[in-house]
């Protein structure tokens, strides 16, 4: 489990094809690798990866074809900067929100507006994720725990302070950038809970407008 508070920036130094998978090498002098062990997890732009080799200044992880398909790894190359966070320890401060490192989809940066004290970043999420994104709710973007400041359909807006721009890859975003999105896990559990006994039925049944109206969540 992670918190979405980025601990260091890293640079992808190599991507080695291994059949349908990729062996990824990430270099970082800012990440504290002192207590890292083989098999530990490191969130890499919000993707939970398992360490298969490491030293004081780098680690390697195998990225499956499934992960590549559903994340921004399809566009990564040697030299790409990534946000890094070690898995949370029980005694750590919980500064962000619950982050699993399981990316739900890839969004696109649609607009960036610079203001005096912050940047306004708009991101278009996949349509199927729009229902999980709420005003003042939490969302993870490339592993960063952020608060949603405005929602317009499947697009949402974030206020990014200068410190976050400096310490994460968000400072490199431009219109068209692809970003890894993980919605708040509480929203997913709530969706499942609302199904009630229908949760045991085949996956073809789910929550739709008729279901919400029947259970009093929509008013005429």
Q: What is the pLDDT of residues 72-86, one digit of tens each?
A: 998 999 999 999 999
- 1 found inside a domain: no
Number of domains making up the chain:
3
- What is the phi/psi pair of residue 169, to 5°? -75, -5
The tokens describing 211, both together, are 């279901």
- What is the phi/psi pair of residue 89, to 5°? -100, 155
Quick one: which of 154, 128, 160, 127 has its CA closest to 141?
160
Q: Tokens 């692809």 appear where? A: 178
Q: State whether 125 and 71 are in the same domain.
A: no
3-state SS assignment for residue 13: strand
Q: Tokens 């400096």 appear where? A: 166
In Å, what is the CA distance from 211 to each residue of 195, 207, 216? 9, 6, 9
**What gap in Å lies between CA 3 and CA 93, rounded to an integer?**
9
Q: State whether 44 and 13 are in the same domain.
A: yes
Domain boundary among 51, 86, 121: 86
Mean confidence (pLDDT) of the chain: 91
Task: Look at residue 214 in the predicted model and tell me its pLDDT.
Answer: 67
**Cβ pair 81, 169 in contact under 8 A:** yes
Largest CA distance in the chain: 61
Which parts of the chain are beta strand (E)?
A: 8-18, 21-27, 41-44, 47-54, 58-63, 81-86, 105-114, 119-124, 138-141, 144-147, 150-152, 155-160, 178-183
**Alpha carbon distance, N-terminus to C-terminus of the chain:** 41
Task: Look at residue 216 in the predicted model and tell me its pLDDT.
Answer: 64
- 93 found inside a domain: no
Task: Look at residue 191 in the predicted model and tell me its pLDDT.
Answer: 86
Q: State whether 191 and 150 are in the same domain.
A: no
Domain boundary among 86, 120, 141: 86
**Cβ pair 122, 112 in contact under 8 A:** yes
Task: Look at residue 18 in the predicted model and tell me its pLDDT.
Answer: 84
Handedness of CA 171, 3, 149, 102 (dihedral sign): positive
- 70 found inside a domain: yes
Q: State whether 22 and 53 are in the same domain.
A: yes
Which residues span the domain enclosing 197?
185-220
Question: Which neighbouring-strand residues pair with 53?
Answer: 60
Task: Look at residue 38 in the predicted model and tell me its pLDDT.
Answer: 96
Sheet hosting strand 105-114, strand order edge to edge: 144-147, 138-141, 178-183, 105-114, 119-124, 155-160, 150-152
Which CATH number fits the domain that encloses residue 138?
A: 2.40.30.20
Domain boundary among 86, 116, 145: 86
Q: What is the pLDDT of residues 166-218, one digit of tens each?
A: 999 999 999 999 999 999 998 888 888 888 888 888 765 556 666 666 666 66
Least trusted range by pLDDT, from 48-52, 88-92, 112-116: 88-92
Task: Look at residue 210 in the predicted model and tell me its pLDDT.
Answer: 67
Q: What is the pLDDT of residues 101-147, one digit of tens each?
A: 999 999 999 999 999 889 999 999 999 999 999 999 999 999 999 99
The tokens describing 112, both together, are 């960036």
């Amino acid at each position: 489990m992670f918190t979405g508070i980025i601990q260091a920036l890293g640079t992808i130094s190599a991507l080695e094809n291994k059949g349908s998978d990729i062996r990824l090498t990430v270099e970082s002098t800012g990440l504290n690798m002192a207590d890292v062990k083989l098999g530990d997890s490191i969130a890499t732009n919000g993707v939970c990866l398992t360490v298969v080799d490491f030293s004081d200044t780098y680690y390697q992880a195998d990225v499956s074809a499934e992960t590549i398909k559903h994340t921004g790894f399809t566009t990564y190359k040697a030299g790409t900067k990534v946000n890094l966070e070690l898995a949370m320890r029980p005694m750590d401060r919980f500064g962000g929100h619950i982050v699993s490192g399981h990316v739900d989809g890839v969004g696109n940066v649609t607009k960036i507006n610079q203001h005096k004290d912050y940047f306004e970043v708009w991101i278009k999420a996949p349509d199927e994720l729009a229902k999980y994104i709420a005003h003042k709710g939490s969302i993870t973007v490339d592993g960063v725990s952020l608060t949603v400041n405005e929602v317009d359909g499947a697009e949402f807006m974030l206020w990014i302070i200068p410190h976050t721009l400096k310490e994460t890859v968000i400072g490199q975003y431009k219109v068209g950038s692809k970003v890894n999105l993980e919605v708040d896990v509480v929203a997913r559990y709530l969706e499942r809970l609302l199904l009630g006994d229908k949760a045991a039925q085949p996956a073809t049944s789910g929550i739709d407008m008729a279901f919400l109206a029947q259970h009093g969540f929509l008013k005429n």
